[in-house]
Amino acid sequence: MRIDVVTIFPNIVDSYIQESIIKRAILDEKVEINVINLRHYSDLKHNQIDDTVYGGGAGMLLMFPPFYRVLKERSTAKSKVILPSPKGKTLTQKKVRELAKLEHIIILCGHYEGIDHRINYFVDEEISVGDYILTGGELAALVLVDSITRLLEGVITLESHLDESFETGLLEHPQYTKPRSFANYDVPDVLLSGHHENISKWRRFMALKETLKKRPDLLKKAKLSEEDKQLLQLIKEQKDE
C-alpha cells in the first residue's frame, strides 16, 4: 500500500512515522508513506499557500491551486482521496478495514480555517475522527495512517487483532503481565491456571462486562450468542446487588 499525506507541516507527520510499528512496516516494505509538503506546489512568492476568505470572515484559508497540482501529479484511477473533516462520517474499525484493502490513499491535511471548497470536487471521502475541532488535519491524518498500517498483512500478528476492542463488536477484556502481585494488586487466578477454556470464558465475560459498563451502545450492534446474553443478564444482576 502507498499512503501520501499532503501537509504544510511535514515534520509533524515525519516524526511520528519514524517510530515503532509504522517505522518497521516502512522498512519491511509493507507500506510506503510519502509526506508531501504543500508549499512545494505553490507558484506564489515565498511559497504562499493560504489567503483571506472571500466574503469576509476570521482566519486564513488554504488555497485550492497547490492541492490541485498535487492531485494532478500523484493521483491515479486507483487512488482514494481522503479529507479529514468534522463534516465526514466518524471513523470506525470497519472503515479502517475497508481502507486497508486499498492500493493508494491520499490524505489532505487542512489547516487554519480549512481548505478552499473547490477541493471537494476531487475528494472521494471526508472522514471525522470525532466530534471536536483540531488545529489542523495532521493529527487526524496520523490516526488514519496508524490505524490502517497496523492492519496490513505482516505488520503485526493476526492473533494480535482477534480480541482487540471493536474487532469483535465489544471492548477488549482486561490484560495483565508480570509481576503476579504488586502492592496487594493481584492478577486474577484464572489467568494463571493454564486452563485455556476457562481463560477464554473469563475473557468473554470481562469483555461483555467492560462493554456494558463503558460503551453499552456497542451491545446494540454486537453479534451476541445466547450464552453472551445469559452472561450479560448475570452481569446486570451482579450490578444491581
pLDDT tens-digit map of 220-232: 989 999 999 999 9
The predicted pLDDT at position 58 comes to: 83
Q: Once rounded to an integer, what is the mean pLDDT over residues 39-55? A: 95
Q: Residue 44: pLDDT above 70?
A: yes
Cβ–Cβ < 8 Å for 80, 125: yes
Q: Which CATH number fits domain 2-157: 3.30.460.80, 3.40.605.10, 3.40.1280.10, 3.60.15.10?
A: 3.40.1280.10
Tens of pLDDT, residue by residue over 52-107, are 999 988 889 999 999 999 999 999 999 999 999 999 999 999 999 999 999 999 99
Helix, strand and coil content of the chain, in percent to the nearest 5, comes to 45, 20, 35
Cβ–Cβ < 8 Å for 152, 33: no
The predicted pLDDT at position 164 comes to: 59
Tens of pLDDT, residue by residue over 106-162, are 999 999 889 999 999 999 999 999 999 999 999 999 999 999 999 999 999 766 655
User: Does the CA dihedral 106-86-168-155 come out positive or negative?
Assistant: positive
Beta bridge partners of 33: 3
Domains 2-157 and 163-240 in one fold:
no
The predicted pLDDT at position 162 comes to: 56
The predicted pLDDT at position 84 comes to: 97
H-only helix segments in 37-76:
64-74
Model confidence at 241, pLDDT cuts 50, 70, 90, reads low
Residue 67, helix vs strand vs coil:
helix
Report the run of H or E that residue 82 belongs to, with start and end: strand 79-90
The predicted pLDDT at position 158 comes to: 65
The predicted pLDDT at position 204 comes to: 95
163-240 maps to CATH 1.10.1270.20: yes
Tens of pLDDT, residue by residue over 163-220, are 556 667 899 999 999 999 999 999 999 999 999 999 999 999 999 999 999 999 999 9
The predicted pLDDT at position 192 comes to: 96
Q: Is the pTM of this model over 0.85?
A: yes
Q: What percent of the chain has pLDDT over 90?
A: 89
For the chain, which residues make up each domain, given as ranges? 2-157, 163-240
The predicted pLDDT at position 168 comes to: 77
